[in-house]
A and B are shown apart, each in its own frame.
Chain A
């Protein structure tokens, strides 16, 4: 018996070293080399067609802070994050709380509320582009209700284009986060709500004083995931503008710009790497700040 266990232990070691270690080490080597390569490229002017690397020092980083178009991309992305990340978190929490109450036809509502999660970004973008196009429902309904004076192709309006993408992003992500909240809400003891009801607290008070504090860790997770996701938004902007970031750079996000510099005709992988590195630093700082904010709120509640 003892011998057998030892043999098994020996097997464990052999398996550990032969199967897992090479795989993980290899993976790590690739991942870490890619970071080193990215940093190296960000200090070079890279031309992949001619396969030339010219060292340019901090030039690429200087360009990030001086070029208007790059500034525009960062400001678009920041606006996008500032609107979408809080909106999706708050809406998801409210909808989850509403759906969590025992209402008639609750199952049917849950299925309907889950549907947007099933769309791919292509389908999503095409549906929303149709809604806001010249013959789409937004114009028709808007005219009937009076908030649209003249049928317009909203997709070509620089002031509206980014807002349309914000709408579609919120529409498709709220149900996902709502599902996370819904499953977490099952752990909140029902007796708390009952006691509050006996004390005469109405639904809004119960939501603010019981649901919100109990959901704090989940809110923190949802908010940070949202920040990370929205900072990297690419597909929707790409399909919406056919890769150009138009109209007038109004839908140009940082991720889209990285794509343009690295893989499209601009052919400037050095700058693309520099932008990607700056973006990741921004994401890390933003999520650390969000995390801190959430923790500090915890102290006095």
Chain B
């Protein structure tokens, strides 16, 4: 499409491209300028994208609020712990299912594939009953961190990727006398870096944005994460500046991650997409 295009076609093409770019970027600009706007007054502002003056009050209010600070802390706990535990466990299980030969392996594989078919809606209520009555996870980090230790779809992803690894390298390592754990960490892990990075990043995104579980297991607002906590701010007052600030705070860590790991974002989306 890079060569001939009529003048008319070119104009349509570029204007379409730019209109969509504006549609995608405009809300972000509004969000950032909104967070620096003084919107405590009821009087509607004349101008919604340029603040009359730069107002830091929203940020000051947010970061001097103990509850808000604990939301930030909880968000990081909910997001980082599952990245570490989940990535390790899913990689290990996926690798063993792909590369270790033992009786019943195929049966186990079928068993866990079948679990992917169970709709999350159905297990939501029974899981809640189990976690709250048997394990007493209400208002405890464990309600988020325990299920965060595994992900059936990530194990599947790892298993599929690990089957493509050459057997000879693993065998050679074992023959050379390296132990199983040494083989796993020194030989296997470096070979599966890409899917591990993708899994880690997407686990971070999923748990950073986790909503429903936090909502149902945490009664104490001090246990909320940012997404739930900031969400409650919407209804509390009509102060848009504060709400836009909440949106900014939710996005900043994800944005930083994106800037540094851009490649893995795109790769990850295509990896999960092509799996289906």
Q: Measured between C-beta atoms, what is the minimum distance from B266 to chain A in Å?
A: 6
Contact status B96-A16, CB under 8 Å: yes
CB-CB < 8 A to A37: which residues of B?
126, 129-130
- CB under 8 Å from chain B, chain A span 245-273: 255, 258-259, 262-263, 269, 272-273
Contact status A269-B129, CB under 8 Å: yes
Contact status A263-B269, CB under 8 Å: no
Contact status B96-A20, CB under 8 Å: yes
Contact status A24-B125, CB under 8 Å: no
CB-CB < 8 A to B65: which residues of A?
none
Task: State whether the Cβ of A120 lies closer than 8 Å to any Cβ in chain B.
Answer: yes
CB-CB < 8 A to B216: which residues of A?
259, 263
Bound-state CA distance A19–B99 (Å) is: 14
Q: Measured between C-beta atoms, what is the minimum distance from A288 to chain B in Å?
A: 12
Pick the residue among A131, A183, A273 that contacts B266 (CB under 8 A).
A183
Contact status A179-B25, CB under 8 Å: no
Pick the residue among A15, A127, A128, A225 that contacts B180 (CB under 8 A).
A15
CB-CB < 8 A to A113: which residues of B?
20-21, 24
Q: Measured between C-beta atoms, what is the minimum distance from B252 to chain A in Å?
A: 10
Task: State whether the Cβ of B102 lies closer than 8 Å to any Cβ in chain A.
Answer: yes
CB-CB < 8 A to A114: which residues of B?
258, 265-266
Q: How many A-B contacts if CB must be within 8 Å?
A: 255
Given A34-B122, A273-B125, A120 and B227 contact (CB-CB distance below 8 Å): yes
Contact status A23-B121, CB under 8 Å: no
Task: State whether the Cβ of B231 lies closer than 8 Å to any Cβ in chain A.
Answer: yes
Task: State whether the Cβ of B120 lies closer than 8 Å to any Cβ in chain A.
Answer: yes
Interface bits A121-139 vs B (CB < 8 Å: 1, else 0): 1111111111101111100
Task: State whether the Cβ of B97 lies closer than 8 Å to any Cβ in chain A.
Answer: yes
Kindly specify which of B55-63, B80-88, B191-199, B238-246 makes contact with the partner chain.
B238-246
Interface bits B92-134 vs A (CB < 8 Å: 1, else 0): 1100110011111100100110110011111111111110000
Task: State whether the Cβ of A61 lies closer than 8 Å to any Cβ in chain B.
Answer: no
CB-CB < 8 A to A176: which residues of B?
269
List the A residue with the shortest CB-CB distance to B177. Answer: A4
CB-CB < 8 A to A102: which residues of B?
1-2
Bound-state CA distance A98–B2 (Å) is: 11
Task: State whether the Cβ of A212 lies closer than 8 Å to any Cβ in chain B.
Answer: no
- CB under 8 Å from chain B, chain A span 181-219: 182-184, 193, 197, 202-203, 206, 218
CB-CB < 8 A to A258: which residues of B?
121, 124-125
Task: State whether the Cβ of A83 lies closer than 8 Å to any Cβ in chain B.
Answer: no
Task: State whether the Cβ of B9 lies closer than 8 Å to any Cβ in chain A.
Answer: yes
Pick the residue among B92, B174, B234 that contacts A129 (CB under 8 A).
B234
Bound-state CA distance A128–B100 (Å) is: 50
Task: State whether the Cβ of B235 lies closer than 8 Å to any Cβ in chain A.
Answer: yes
* Cross-chain pairs A/B with CB under 8 angstroms, 13 sampled: A16-B96, A17-B102, A20-B100, A34-B127, A35-B122, A48-B129, A122-B211, A123-B251, A127-B244, A183-B274, A184-B274, A203-B1, A235-B211
B residues engaging A (CB < 8 A)?
1-5, 9, 13, 16-17, 20-21, 23-25, 27-28, 30-31, 34, 44-45, 48-49, 92-93, 96-97, 100-105, 108, 111-112, 114-115, 118-130, 150, 152, 174-175, 180, 208-209, 211-212, 215-216, 226-228, 230-231, 234-235, 240, 243-244, 246-248, 250-251, 254-255, 258, 265-266, 269-270, 273-274, 276
A residues engaging B (CB < 8 A)?
1, 4, 8-9, 11-13, 15-17, 19-21, 23-25, 27-28, 30-31, 33-35, 37-38, 41, 48, 95, 98, 101-103, 109, 112-131, 133-137, 140, 151, 171, 175-176, 179-180, 182-184, 193, 197, 202-203, 206, 218, 221-222, 224-225, 232, 234-235, 238-239, 242, 255, 258-259, 262-263, 269, 272-273, 276-277, 279-280, 283-284
